[in-house]
Amino acid sequence: MKGLKVKNKKGFAMIAALLAILMLTAVGVLVFTVTTRDIRVSARVTGEKKALSAAEAGIHQVIQNFAVGGTASNVQVDTASDLDTRYSYAIGASSSGCTPPPAGFDIEKWSEDMYVANVTGTNTRYGSSVQIDVGIGLFKSGTCAKTTD
């Protein structure tokens, strides 16, 4: 069809302009999507770091104030500047079945016991939560020591 000629070329400019706008819109949407994804990832990482930091603070608190059956919930890590980062913990029973002596105990007579503390750090601003299970061992051979076969 060599001899076929198009007589009306007025609509070509409009179609070319629409295709250019469509391509520019697609590139714009792609750039927006990639940018917001990076921001969401950065926010998630920040929240997870804050939650992990809160869990670590909870572990330090468990070690400092160790008490069998001890619990704490929704404790703020930094009351001055970060109201959204908190920790909670619960200390379980001894895995050996031994009962530790009361406050003021004689460490020389205490036995080999292992306790598990479940510590959870959270950050409500970023919706992040980290749970750490910590084994706390109090080891001194004595009256309630485990025997191995």
Q: Is residue 38 part of a domain?
A: yes
Q: Give this prediction's pTM.
A: 0.62
**pLDDT of 39 over the 60 cut:** yes
What average pLDDT does this structure show over 3-20?
A: 78
Q: Is residue 15 part of a domain?
A: yes
Amino acid 136: pLDDT: 80
Q: Is residue 1 part of a domain?
A: no
Task: Pick the more confident residue, 19 or 78.
Answer: 19
- Alpha-carbon distance of 99 to 139, in angstroms, equals 13
Amino acid 56: pLDDT: 94
Q: What is the total count of domains within the chain?
A: 1
Amino acid 148: pLDDT: 45
pLDDT band per the 50, 70, 90 thresholds, residue 5: low
Q: Is residue 132 part of a domain?
A: yes
Q: Is residue 43 part of a domain?
A: yes
**What one-character-per-residue DSSP string does 10-23 give?**
TTHHHHHHHHHHHH
Query: How far, in Å, are 18, 28, 36, 79, 149 from residue 22 at the CA level?
Result: 6, 10, 21, 51, 77
Q: Which tens digits make up the pLDDT trace of 111-135?
A: 556 788 899 999 999 999 999 998 8
- Alpha-carbon distance of 52 to 49, in angstroms, equals 5
**Domain region containing 59:** 9-141
Q: Which tens digits make up the pLDDT trace of 71-109?
A: 888 889 888 888 999 999 998 876 655 555 556 655 555
Q: Is residue 149 part of a domain?
A: no
- Alpha-carbon distance of 28 to 21, in angstroms, equals 10
Q: Is residue 147 part of a domain?
A: no
Q: Is residue 4 part of a domain?
A: no
Please answer whether residues 69 and 101 qualify as being in contact, where contact means their C-beta atoms are separated by less than 8 angstroms.
no
- Alpha-carbon distance of 107 to 66, in angstroms, equals 14
